Amino acid sequence: MPTKKDYYREAIDLCKSGKEFFLVLQELRRRELLSYKQRGVKKVEILTAGADNSCAACLQLNQKVIDIDEALKNMPLPVKMCSMDVFGVDRGFCRCTYAPVVL
């Protein structure tokens, strides 16, 4: 079974080669959420790569706390409108992630 690192590496390779990578990133985030849910996490927080390393679309979600079931249903990550050019290929590559909210 592919690991989080495997999905991320595949998405990077696809992005750099000009191929579609969004669905790979989306699957990575979906599995991340499912892993948290399996461990009993009820809410997650969206974290960006920081103000200097994130686009405006991603920054709008920074530190937003949402119910894990809502996140799985709506899949806010990766941000579809991300415009952060990380690899110099003029394509947005969302690096936002989820963090479990511990109550």
Q: How confident is the model at residue 2 (pLDDT cuts 50, 70, 90)?
A: confident
pLDDT of residue 17: 93
**Residue with the larger pLDDT of the pair 102 and 32:** 32
Q: What is the 3-state secondary structure (H, E, C) of the chain?
A: CCCHHHHHHHHHHHHHCCCCCHHHHHHHHHHHHHHHHHCCCCEEEEECCCHHHCCHHHHCCCCCEEEHHHHHHHCCCCCCCCCCECCCCCCECCCCEEEECCC
Could you read off the pLDDT of 16-31 as tens digits, one per residue? 999 999 999 999 999 9
Q: What is the pLDDT of residue 33?
A: 97
What are residue 92's phi and psi, to 5 degrees?
-70, 135
Which pLDDT belongs to residue 68?
98
pLDDT at 20: 93
